Amino acid sequence: MCTMIVTQVNIDGSGKGANGWFKLREANVSYDHPFDAPLEHALNIDFVNEALGPGERVAVELSVEAARTLVETIDAVLKRAEAGGYLEQSAPAVPDTAT
Amino acid sequence: MDQTGPYEGMLAETIALPGFQGDLITAYFARPLGPGPFPGVVVIHHMPGWDEWYREATRKFAHHGYAALSPNLYFRAGDGAPEDVAAKVRAAGGVSDEQVVGDLAGALHYLHALPFSSGKAGVFGTCSGGRHAFLAACRVRGFDAAVDCWGGRVVMAPNDLTPKQPVAPIDYIQDLPCPLLGIFGEEDQNPSPAQVAQLEQALKAHGKTYDFHMYPKAGHGFFSYDRPNYRQEQAVDGWKKLFAFFETYLRTPASSVPAAG
């Protein structure tokens, strides 16, 4: 790794990868060399389920500006949903069987 | 120089070799056909993985008359698309220096044990591989020449050190036993020109043999023809300098080679 700037966070949700939908378990957020974006460094997010192997990955590589805009947008959307009383606070009711 | 006349052949294949702690890891091996003797080159991949470019580079060294071996430093992360495997390694904070040094020692021993080995071997790497090339040259006995292409984090501030990278490679500089070629871009941020200058100063202070080239209008990874940071003129010149360097230190009889510091 060249910058070594990476943080892993546990998440719940679903992602659609090369083999279809799978349960997400971790998001790896890094600022390092991207694989595809035409930048020397990018804000990279890998949505993964490590138990399923390296191939189960939904990847995004963002410019700094795009990453900041995305963060602000996610926060704004969640605030609107919260204001409308739509937020679901509880964990998914369906037992997790497909890791 | 390339010639059209003589017969030429090459063998290129995936092999397995014992790396750190005896773990069997995969490696891509390419060599000219014939009895040799051939000098060896260990080819170290970059942070984004053990990908096609490094197979091409390995064959390029074979085309130039070297037995070239590119170990998969991410072998333990499993198989898959190189970038998926590299993403997994990235999430884990990279591979540890200790493990990398062990894997590269295994690669060097493999080359030396070949019946067609000339007995000499170099190490080449780009990006994190450039850092690893410097590290291996300092810590693994037996390399005769090393090439660091834009290796970042050779110079590290104390707060950059991690459990996987507990010592800045520059701190091993007194142990560097062989000549070092450095190829860098002046627009690179990692390593920055200031860090390259710091490394050069340390090499000079320790009386080491080195040859550094800082290319204008180039940044990080300017050999990568499939990326926007590719710089054709600088890359062509860099490859020429690299092969001239290996020619001098890996193929010239010892009596005619300038002594390393």
Smallest Cβ–Cβ distance between B87 and the set A3, A41, A46 belongs to A46
Q: How many CB atoms sit inside 10 A of residue B112's CB? A: 14
In the predicted structure, residue B60 carries a pLDDT above the cut 50: yes
Smallest Cβ–Cβ distance between B189 and the set A1, A38, A40 belongs to A40
Q: Show the tokens assigned to B26.
A: 């995969």
pLDDT score, position B255: 63
pLDDT score, position B4: 84
Q: Could you tell me if B75 and B153 are in contact, meaning their C-beta atoms sit under 8 angstroms apart? A: no
Percent of chain A with pLDDT over 70: 89
Average pLDDT over residues B31-47: 97
The answer, for B153 touching chain A at a CB cutoff of 8 Å, is: yes
Average pLDDT over residues B143-162: 96
> Hey, of B84, B127, B149, which one would you mutate to test binding to chain A, going by the most A CBs within 10 A of its CB?
B84
The answer, for B190 touching chain A at a CB cutoff of 8 Å, is: yes
Q: How many CB atoms sit inside 10 A of residue A11's CB? A: 13
Q: How many CB pairs lie under 8 A apart between chains A and B?
A: 78
pLDDT score, position B256: 66
Average pLDDT over residues B68-89: 96
Concatenated DSSP letters of B50-119: S-HHHHHHHHHHHHTT-EEEEE-TTGGG-SS-HHHHHHHHHHTT---HHHHHHHHHHHHHHHHHSTTEEE
* More confident position, B38 or B8: B38
Strand order in the sheet with B10-18: B10-18, B24-32, B67-71, B38-44, B117-126, B145-149, B180-185, B210-215
Smallest Cβ–Cβ distance between A54 and the set B88, B93, B219 belongs to B88
Could you read off the pLDDT of B160-183 as tens digits, one per residue? 999 999 999 999 999 999 999 999
HEC readout, chain A: CCCCEEEEEEEEEEEEECCEEEEEEEEEEEEECCCCCCCCCEEEEEEECHHHCCCCEEEEEECHHHHHHHHHHHHHHHHHHHHCCCCCCCCCCCCCCCC
Q: Could you tell me if B147 and B223 are in contact, meaning their C-beta atoms sit under 8 angstroms apart? A: no
In the predicted structure, residue A18 carries a pLDDT above the cut 70: yes
Could you read off the pLDDT of B224-240 as tens digits, one per residue? 999 999 999 999 999 99
In the predicted structure, residue B195 carries a pLDDT above the cut 60: yes
Percent of chain B with pLDDT over 70: 97
In the predicted structure, residue A91 carries a pLDDT above the cut 70: no
> Is the ipTM here above 0.90?
no
Of B134, B138, B130, residue with least CA distance to B172: B138
CA distance B93 to chain A (A): 6
pLDDT score, position B68: 98
Residue with token string 């290319």: B215
pLDDT score, position A93: 47
